[in-house]
């Protein structure tokens, strides 16, 4: 009986342990569900705020306008309907604030009760008009035409060049500058970190005496342990002003500052993983090379580095992954201008920094909020891909070693 109870107990414990082991999978599934549920919601909405619509004269052949077109019209970059596929007629912007110029107070009504009629009247009289008004003014008896705005498309989301999610009348959701900003900063960081990191790992694995290695190793671990916000702070008070002085720039918050800070942060990842990889080289191989008359350096770059190539690649990719996902440090030093970068000496904005900077201000459930989750989805997909690639590389290596 006791034995039976005991075995039940053991099974129970095993079940608990099993359940615990499923938590990571569960977490990933939940992350995917919650991230994509909100993120995909972006593409079910129009870039125009709920409760507002764009109206034109009823004889205007235009039926819908895209977000960039709306922005260009309201910024007066497009002044003729021909540009967006309509008649050759100039565009008249109608602003509700100026309604007093066209209608007397008595026509509008004391409590603006006749405002809908005024708007209706104005759009009827002016063939080239376009107005951005609340939908409650166009509910009944409206004689103009209400434009439909197409929903945000995935292709537009990725390819459009402007990120201005709070813009009126139409939010501009182009992720391209953010993606490019992220890539610029990350690859800049890898360009700096890779030579430094690989040299350090080779030095630690092959050249340094055990004594020096025992000092270096905990130092590198410490470097990995320092919080990203401290790196960001250091970047903000030291690197940013130095860059500003050195290149004589109006602001020091640039892609370069971000790359330098990220490089320091990616170093521990690159160093520890590639050092581990270098150390897996069998001693017999190294000794065979030395016995053939090769010196240490020849052995390193002809035997050790090729042998641990896949590990070094994995280290590099993981370093890039770390740089792409890093938020706080980048947020603090890159200046966060959502424009397509042209040089390292300009402010840029990365995807994680955008999320961190804007989520607090985005009303929950709105288009902006959902668009930020869509950014999270992009980030998630990128890092997932990186992980799978690294997993593939390291599994391939095992196969070769067999």
The structure tokens listed for 48 are 């125009």
> What is the number of residues in the chain?
402
Task: Give me the least distance between CB of 161 and another protein, in Å please.
Answer: 23
Evaluate whether 146 touches 46 at the Cβ level (below 8 Å). no
Q: How far is the CB of 390 from another protein (least distance, A)?
A: 8
In the complex, least distance from residue 182 CB atom to another protein, rounded to whole angstroms: 11
Per CB under 8 A, 245 contacts another protein = no
Q: Which residues contact 125 (CB under 8 A, 6 or more apart)?
A: none
Q: Which of residues 275-294 bind another protein (CB under 8 A)?
A: none
Query: Among 31-39, 65-73, 145-153, 337-345, which window interacts with another protein (CB under 8 A)?
Result: 31-39
Binding another protein by CB under 8 A: which of 88, 106, 248, 295?
295
In the complex, what is the shortest distance from the CB of residue 197 to another protein, in angstroms, rounded to a whole number?
A: 8
Rank residues 64 and 361 by Cβ distance to another protein and give the closer one: 361
Contact positions with another protein (CB under 8 A) in 358-387: 359-360, 364, 372-373, 376, 379-380, 383-384, 386-387
Q: How far is the CB of 103 from another protein (least distance, A)?
A: 44
Q: How far is the CB of 84 from another protein (least distance, A)?
A: 36
According to the binding rule CB under 8 A, does residue 44 interact with another protein? no
Site map 200..219 versus another protein, x via CB under 8 A: x-xxx--xx-------x-xx
Residue 133: strand pairing partners: 53
Beta strands in 73-166 (DSSP E): 92-94, 129-134, 145-146, 163-164
Q: How far, in Å, CA of 37 to CA of 374, rounded?
A: 9
Sign of the alpha-carbon torsion through 155, 159, 161, 165: positive
Question: CA 15, CA 281: separation in Å to the nearest integer?
Answer: 40
Contact track, another protein, 313-352, x by CB under 8 A: -----x--x--xxxxx---x-------------------x
Give the separation between CA 309 and CA 302, rounded to whole angstroms.
11
Whole-angstrom distance between the N-terminal and C-terminal Cα of the chain? 49
Q: How far, in Å, CA of 69 to CA of 64, rounded?
A: 10
Does 181 help bind another protein (rule: CB under 8 A)?
no
* Cis peptide bond upstream of 349, omega within 30: no
Of residues 24 and 155, the one with the C-beta less far from another protein: 24
Q: How far is the CB of 396 from another protein (least distance, A)?
A: 14
Tokens standing for 104? 């007397």
Based on the shown chain and the rule CB under 8 A, indicate whether residue 306 belongs to the binding site for another protein.
no
Residue 16 binding another protein, by CB under 8 A = yes
Query: Can you tell me the distance from the alpha carbon of 127 to that of 186, in angstroms, rounded to the nearest whole number?
Result: 51
Here the tokens at position 379 are 């980030």
Minimum gap (Å) between residue 381 Cβ and another protein = 10
The answer to whether residue 191 forms part of the interface with another protein (CB under 8 A) is: no
Q: Among candidates 175, 232, 238, which has minimal Cα distance to 39?
A: 175
Please pick, from the candidates 8, 154, 191, 230, the single residue that binds another protein as defined by CB under 8 A. Answer: 230
């Amino acid at each position: 009986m006791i034995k039976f109870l005991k075995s039940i107990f053991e099974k129970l414990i095993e079940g608990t342990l099993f359940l615990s082991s499923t938590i990571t999978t569960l977490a990933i599934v939940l992350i995917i569900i919650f991230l994509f549920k909100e993120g995909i919601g972006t593409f079910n909405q129009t870039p125009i705020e709920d409760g507002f619509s764009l109206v034109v004269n009823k004889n205007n052949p235009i039926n819908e306008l895209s977000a960039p077109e709306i922005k260009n019209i309201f910024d007066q970059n497009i002044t003729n309907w021909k540009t967006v596929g309509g008649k050759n007629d100039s565009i008249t912007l109608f602003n509700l604030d100026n309604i007093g110029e066209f209608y007397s107070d008595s026509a509008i009504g004391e409590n603006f009760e006749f405002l809908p009629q005024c708007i209706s009247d104005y759009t009827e009289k002016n063939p080239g008009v376009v107005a951005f008004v609340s939908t409650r003014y166009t509910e009944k008896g409206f004689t103009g035409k209400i434009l439909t705005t197409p929903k945000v498309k995935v292709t537009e989301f990725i390819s459009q060049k402007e990120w201005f999610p709070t813009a009126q009348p139409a939010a501009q959701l182009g992720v391209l500058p953010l993606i490019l900003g992220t890539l610029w900063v990350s690859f800049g960081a890898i360009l700096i970190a890779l030579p430094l990191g690989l040299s350090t790992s080779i030095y630690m694995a092959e050249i340094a005496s055990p004594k020096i290695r025992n000092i270096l190793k905990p130092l590198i671990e410490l470097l990995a342990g320092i919080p990203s916000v401290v790196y960001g702070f250091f970047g903000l008070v030291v690197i940013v002003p130095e860059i500003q002085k050195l290149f004589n720039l109006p602001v020091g918050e640039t892609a370069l500052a971000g790359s330098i800070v990220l490089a320091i942060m990616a170093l521990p990842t690159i160093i520890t993983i590639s050092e581990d990889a270098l150390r897996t080289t069998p001693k017999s191989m190294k000794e065979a090379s030395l016995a053939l008359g090769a010196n240490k350096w020849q052995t390193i770059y002809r035997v050790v580095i090729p042998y641990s190539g896949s590990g070094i690649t994995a280290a590099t990719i993981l370093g890039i992954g770390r740089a792409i996902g890093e938020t706080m440090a980048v947020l603090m030093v890159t200046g966060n201008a959502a424009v397509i970068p042209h040089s390292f000496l300009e402010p840029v904005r990365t995807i994680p920094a955008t999320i961190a900077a804007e989520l607090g201000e985005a009303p929950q459930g709105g288009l902006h909020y959902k668009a930020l989750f869509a950014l999270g989805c992009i980030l998630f997909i990128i890092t997932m891909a990186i992980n799978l690639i690294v997993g593939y590389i390291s599994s391939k290596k095992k196969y070769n070693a067999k």
